[in-house]
Structure 1
Amino acid sequence: MSRTLPLDPTGATWVKSSYSQNGGNCIEVTPDFPGLVPVRDSKDPAGPALLFPSDAWQSFVAGVQAGEFGTA
């Protein structure tokens, strides 16, 4: 079962990862949608955004900070 969420990121304030470096592989997130964290590729700002529930995103970030995913 899928559903369409009414989400229009036009005019959203996107924030690039603090670990971003010039020309790097970066993501951007926007805090403009309560309860959701849209995530997009900074190199393709007109492309699609992935949507995560805020609590799931917070768990993911905590796992990254704890080193649970290793390094590439």
Structure 2
Amino acid sequence: MDDRWDENMAGYSNGVSAADLDAKWIKARASNANGQCVELALLNGGQVAVRNSTDPSGPALIFTPGEIEAFLDGARRHEFDQMVAL
């Protein structure tokens, strides 16, 4: 079995090289033009991978659909606004 596979998550485990994922990466239209962005990719099985665009072969964090849904809900409710200078 591939050591990148985590049976408990039913998919890839956190820290897998983003370059090893067969994925189409996307980023927000409002992303910084100099490439400093967070990118996401939908994986087989519905999981979502997240990477730093400045390190495209670096580690990816893997989230379940429910985790992404909870994060996006919090973002819509402005729960993370204190994380950035407005």
TM-score w.r.t. the length of structure 1 is: 0.77
Gaps of 5+ in 1: none
Does structure 1 residue 52 correspond to structure 2 residue 63?
yes
CA drift of 1:66 comes to: 1.3
Q: Give the ranges of 4+ consecutive aligned residues of structure 1 lying more than 6 Å apart after TM superposition.
A: none
Higher RCO, 1 or 2 (CA under 8 Å, sep at least 6)?
A: 2
- CA RMSD of superposed structures (Å): 2.1
Q: Structure 1 residue 42 and structure 2 residue 53: aligned?
A: yes
Q: How many residues align?
A: 69
- State which structure, 1 or 2, has the greater radius of gyration over its C-alpha atoms: 2
5+ residue gaps in structure 2?
13-19
Give the % identical residues: 36
User: Which one has a larger percent helix, Structure 1 or Structure 2?
Assistant: 2
